[in-house]
Structure 1
């Protein structure tokens, strides 16, 4: 049986995973989202509960790059990846 996991821990895992899919450093994610690198680091290690504005900025820049973060009705974390945005154009 899974015990309650704080949403900040789930968000941290989603951000780390999305960053990995995009091959971005913490600094690159922070710069693109307009937040400090320290904020990204603290979020990813679970040292802070991020502000709604910070979570929104991070989600928006990740989504714009082609990765959608979410969970299903059972709480399973899901990612959707846009092939058009992630893969270089062929031809």
Structure 2
């Protein structure tokens, strides 16, 4: 039996997984994406539906470091690691 999982929770899991692959904190992802840490936290715990612009910024930040989030035509959610760039951490 398939459960209907809200898309915000699927996206939250993707963001957490992408951060884990990159070994980034929420704060580091926020800085790299140009969004607030509070936005990342709320998205990851699933208490907010992110704005399209925020999702785009987060996706671009992880993609530029080698982790791409995508959903195929069947609704399967995937994280693709093409190349993980070890970027210097923020202070």
Match runs of 1:36-51 below 5 Å: 36-51=36-51
Paired residues in the alignment total 87
In 1: Cα distance, 2:51 partner to 2:69 partner: 17
The separation in 2 between residues aligned to 1:22 and 1:70, in whole angstroms, is 17
Unpaired stretches in structure 1, ≥5 consecutive residues: none
- Larger Rg, first or second structure (1 or 2): 1
* Displacement after TM superposition at 1:71 (Å): 2.4
Q: Where does 1:1-91 land on structure 2 (aligned, <5 Å)?
A: 1-83=1-83, 85-86=84-85
TM-score by length of 1: 0.86
Report the Cα distance in structure 2 between the residues aligned to 1:54 and 1:39, rounded to whole angstroms: 8
Distance between the aligned counterparts of 1:27 and 1:20, measured in 2? 13
**Cα RMSD for the two superposed structures:** 1.6
What TM-score, normalized by structure 2, do the two folds share? 0.86
Q: Give 1:27 deviation, angstroms.
A: 0.1
**Structure 2 unaligned blocks of 5 or more:** 87-91
Alignment partners' CA distance in 2, 1:77 and 1:54? 19
Residue 49 of structure 1 and its aligned partner are, at CA, apart by 0.5
**SS in structure 2 of the partner of residue 48 of structure 1:** coil
